Amino acid sequence: MGFERDADRQKRADRQAAGRALRKAVPRSALAHWRVPDDRPDAVDMIELGHLGRVERLIPVRIGRMCASPYAFLRGNAAIMAEDFSQLPATGL
């Protein structure tokens, strides 16, 4: 177990080289330059869309839980975070 074939080692080296090339094309520092897009959907509208299809009497419970903390808010409505992330530079993986 510890035995690694040359072909496996080469595959790993190829994947690492591909990853390094992608990181050069889209460096992590590029994520620091995000700005709010002019056409960004309204957060309240997105929350209301998240209510569609839910049991009506449980919506206030959901909102109450989302008010507990910023973390709870994002857990309760990951669509807002996903929308913001979709606008970030990406490597294409």
- How many domains does the structure of the chain reveal? 1
- 93 located within any domain: no
CA dist., res. 5 & res. 88, Å (int): 38
Quick check: 66 and 77 in contact, CB under 8 A? yes
The pLDDT tens digits of the residues spanning 32-53 come to 888 888 999 999 999 999 999 9
Quick check: 77 and 47 in contact, CB under 8 A? yes
- What is the pTM for the complete model shown? 0.64
Inform me whether the pLDDT recorded for 26 exceeds 80: yes
Determine the pLDDT at residue 7. 82
CA-based torsion, 43, 89, 11, 2: positive or negative: negative
- 45 located within any domain: yes
- 57 located within any domain: yes
In terms of residue numbers, what domain contains 56?
A: 6-85
- 30 located within any domain: yes
- 92 located within any domain: no
